[in-house]
Amino acid sequence: MQDKILLITPPFTQLNTPYPATAYLKGFLNTKNIASYQADLGIEVMLSIFSKKGLIAVFEKAQAFEAPSDNMQRILKLKDTYIHTIDAVISFLQGKNPTLAHRIAQRNFLPEAQRFDQLEDLNWAFGAMGIQDKAKYIATMYLEDLADLIKETVDPYFGFSRYAEKIGRSAQEMDALYAALLGPLSFVDEYLIALLKEK
């Protein structure tokens, strides 16, 4: 029996833009009758963290953080609302629940933290016909607030399209990168390793 080849799209590439390399490789392997399958760890890690179960874990860790900023305290106070709304927001952003756009666009459905403090007049920006786009924008700000919480209190390397970029960018030597690799698993690493073990 021939082993299957696992093609992995790595985490922290652009989530909203398909990364074509594994699709091309899989297509080539198919022409050679080589068994293979794909896994998009970027999407899988994000969907695991940005779920009801994932946010419960995030908030558990965040509440243990000493001296959170005012914005983090604001988010922590809205914990239950974030946990209650996350699955609906992800479903909406995946195109599975487009009717939620009206509730999101009214700005009384989702909790709002610091990212919303800088919003311009959304009606001017999106107009009366831009309900879907306006709702996607608001849902994105909601996720950005949660990303700020994760970065400040749970995993300082977290980002939607980059992870631990500062270590690689500023390194003139490999010591910092090596030390990070030898250190304990981060919050995101734990999700990544668990998902890899399932493959």
Residue extents of the structural domains in the chain = 5-42, 46-187+194-198
Least-confidence region, from 40-49, 94-103, 120-129: 120-129
pLDDT level of residue 1 (50, 70, 90 thresholds): low
128 CB burial (10 A radius; 0-12, 13-18, 19+)? exposed
pLDDT level of residue 35 (50, 70, 90 thresholds): very high
Least-confidence region, from 80-84, 132-136, 154-158: 154-158
Least-confidence region, from 53-67, 93-107, 176-190: 176-190
Do the Cβ atoms of 160 and 15 come closer than 8 Å? yes
Least-confidence region, from 14-28, 71-85, 182-196: 14-28
The length of the chain in residues reads 199
- pTM to 2 decimal places: 0.83
